[in-house]
Structure 1
Amino acid sequence: MKRARLIYNPTSGRENVRRRLADILEVLETAGYETSAHATRGEHDASEEAEQAVRRGFDLVIAAGGDGTIYEVINGIAEKKNRPALGIIPCGTSNDFARAVGIPKSVTRSCEIIASGKTKKIDLGKINDRYFINIAGGGSLTELTYEVPIKMKTMIGQLAYYVKGIEKLPFIHPTHVRMETRERVVVDEEIMLFLIANSHSVGGFNRIAPKADLTDGKLDCIVLKKTSLPEFIRLATMALKGDHIKDPNVIYFQTNYVKATSLDAKTVQLNLDGELGGQLPCECIALPGHLEVFVP
């Protein structure tokens, strides 16, 4: 019998996984997985538990929580030679990666997807010594995801990010950043933010990186140039349809390697799948087909 390790955030999704734990275990056991569970206790705990699962030879690791839980789990297994397949039970605020691969926000349905056994090899991004499955970013606007209080996210969900965004917009300042691939310098100017996307789904927007493909061995880079508040609001509206990449205020390119450096004195924080991920400078590479994920 194969063995599965369920790593879940007990506070995600209004404690939905904790309340449904018996149901989850029953579905997985019926599918032929001897399953055990671990409730995360704090920062980095999911990564440490995922590492343990690899060492103990589990065939499957399941991340149950939001994008942050998935981020921690992949950072526990991505460096390992024998990486177990990854199952996902999405119950966070945005669930960007789950949305990108078509996993619904339903505990029952997501468990059934794992039980069905269909997997797909997807790319990962590596930035300095950390890994991301969905998005890396830098600039003042990207700080929103870790500035939103947990209680606010629990109460109003995705709307919490927009509330925080409106609050911060008048105080956002551009940063001078240079971004270069192995062939050329693509950006060398003041910008509002940059995003390095592995999928098309970012921050609840489904077409931020409309050409992104989780299996093409490339990362999609979106850079918002220095712009005014009215222009930013206009571009945010365009982003709903993916039309923002045609605007002259946006630079959009695909690459398997990019280096980003801040040319200002101030620190530029990196955001990886919604979590703090160090600061500039950084080097980012695509890792083709690095992880096997259960998909519909």
Structure 2
Amino acid sequence: MTDSAAALCVPTTPRRVLVVHNPTAGRHKQRRLLDVIERLELLGCAVTSKQTGQRGDAEDFATQASPDLYDAVIAAGGDGTVNEVLNGLGRGSGGLALGVIPLGTANVLACEIGLDPRNLDQIARAIAFGPARHVHVAVANCRRFLLMAGAGLDAHVVAGVNVALKRRTGKLAYVVESLKQAVGYDFPKLGIRADGVEYEGRMVVACKGRFYGGPFIAAPDASLEEPMLEVCILPNSGISGVLRYGLALPMGKLSELPEVQVISARTLLITGPRGAPVQGDGDIVARLPAEISVGNDTVELICPE
């Protein structure tokens, strides 16, 4: 984070917050949520809580949130819940900051901003008094995303992952689906036009943040605060390619592999099988062909001090 950004939007009084959460989360995560809300109230925050009943509710709640009543909308859940709230803030009247209570499987945004999902005091303190940093938001086929958007195998894994298994086993569900997809997926070629220059790959991830899939750095030069995408183009296919990339990622070596291209761009067009899924922030947000861009669209993101 830059020094100039760190000086932005530091509240002098506890924030008034709308907490949006999914009641289908496990009992342990519900307890963590209630503990954070209790801490927020002890810090002097005015807290309103709303439960989602179906997909799209979090976006609608954020859209309807009034700056007259709230200073921020807090997504209590995983990165998919954050994405819904982010898109609701884009449709709303503006002026509201975005915060997170990380209760998801990967919690990539929490990794990006240095928020420890296990440190409830840190989470509450950040929401109440943490600086709101000015970050640039990217768009995939008119759908906002904050962290990354990808096409190819990773998008098919997101589309196919077993939700019940994910709730029981967390990240293991993605490992199971990745191996399943690696055997049956045909790895079609993807065309990538980045700022007018043509590339080709089997998988592509446009990164706004450094992290991918959890505490794993895929794009070390990416920055939420810059109006730029770091685009990772992966050319290998098959189970050997999946294992190679899957081993390099947790070691922080993905971008260093000789065949992997990482380029900077503001606009991106991905072509391939028409209708193939595009994942954004861990949810399916678009279909191919996909136009991805980053420009002047911004949001105030609440971070730890």
Q: Same fold (TM over 0.5)?
A: yes
Paired residue for 1:101? 113
Contact kept, 8 Å, 2:65 with 2:92, in 1: the verdict is no
Partner Cα distance (2:190, 2:238) in 1:
18
* Deviation for aligned residue 1:79: 3.8
Paired residue for 2:126? 113
How far does the alpha carbon of each residue in 1:131-174 deviate from its partner, in whole angstroms, 9 at most, with x for none?
A: 01111111133221232222212222112211221222111212
Aligned residues: 290
For 1:155, what is the secondary structure of its paired residue?
helix
Partner Cα distance (1:15, 1:83) in 2:
33
Which residue type is aligned with residue 136 of structure 1? A
Partner Cα distance (1:23, 1:8) in 2:
14
Which residue type is aligned with residue 112 of structure 1? R
Paired residue for 1:254? 264
CA-atom RMSD, angstroms? 2.2
Which residue type is aligned with residue 3 of structure 1? R
Q: Is 1:161 aligned with 2:169?
A: no
Alignment of 1:145-224 (within 5 A): 145-182=158-195, 184-187=196-199, 189=200, 191-224=201-234
Which residue type is aligned with residue 98 of structure 1? A
How far does the alpha carbon of each residue in 1:93-126 deviate from its partner, in whole angstroms, 9 at most, with x for none?
A: 0111111111111344311221233222222111
Contact kept, 8 Å, 1:270 with 1:279, in 2: the verdict is yes
Deviates more, 1:67-76 or 1:19-28: 19-28
Partner Cα distance (1:129, 1:24) in 2:
33
How far does the alpha carbon of each residue in 1:178-234 deviate from its partner, in whole angstroms, 9 at most, with x for none?
A: 22233x3231x4x32111111111112521112211112211111111434224312
Deviates more, 1:56-65 or 1:16-25: 16-25
Contact kept, 8 Å, 1:218 with 1:255, in 2: the verdict is yes
Which residue type is aligned with residue 293 of structure 1? L
Paired residue for 1:122? 135
Note closer, same or farther for the CA distance 1:242–1:30 as it changes in structure 2 (3 Å cut).
Answer: same
Contact kept, 8 Å, 1:136 with 1:195, in 2: the verdict is yes
* Deviation for aligned residue 1:72: 0.4
Contact kept, 8 Å, 2:182 with 2:242, in 1: the verdict is no
Deviates more, 1:285-294 or 1:158-167: 285-294
For 2:189, what is the secondary structure of its paired residue?
strand
Which residue type is aligned with residue 19 of structure 1? R
Paired residue for 2:5? none
Q: Is 1:39 aligned with 2:51?
A: yes
Q: Is 1:9 aligned with 2:22?
A: yes
Note closer, same or farther for the CA distance 1:154–1:258 as it changes in structure 2 (3 Å cut).
Answer: same
Paired residue for 2:11? none
Note closer, same or farther for the CA distance 1:170–1:25 as it changes in structure 2 (3 Å cut).
Answer: closer
Q: Could you tell me the percent identity over the aligned residues?
A: 28
Note closer, same or farther for the CA distance 1:285–1:54 as it changes in structure 2 (3 Å cut).
Answer: farther
Deviates more, 1:215-224 or 1:115-124: 115-124
Partner Cα distance (1:221, 1:147) in 2:
24
Alignment of 1:33-72 (within 5 A): 33-54=45-66, 57-72=69-84
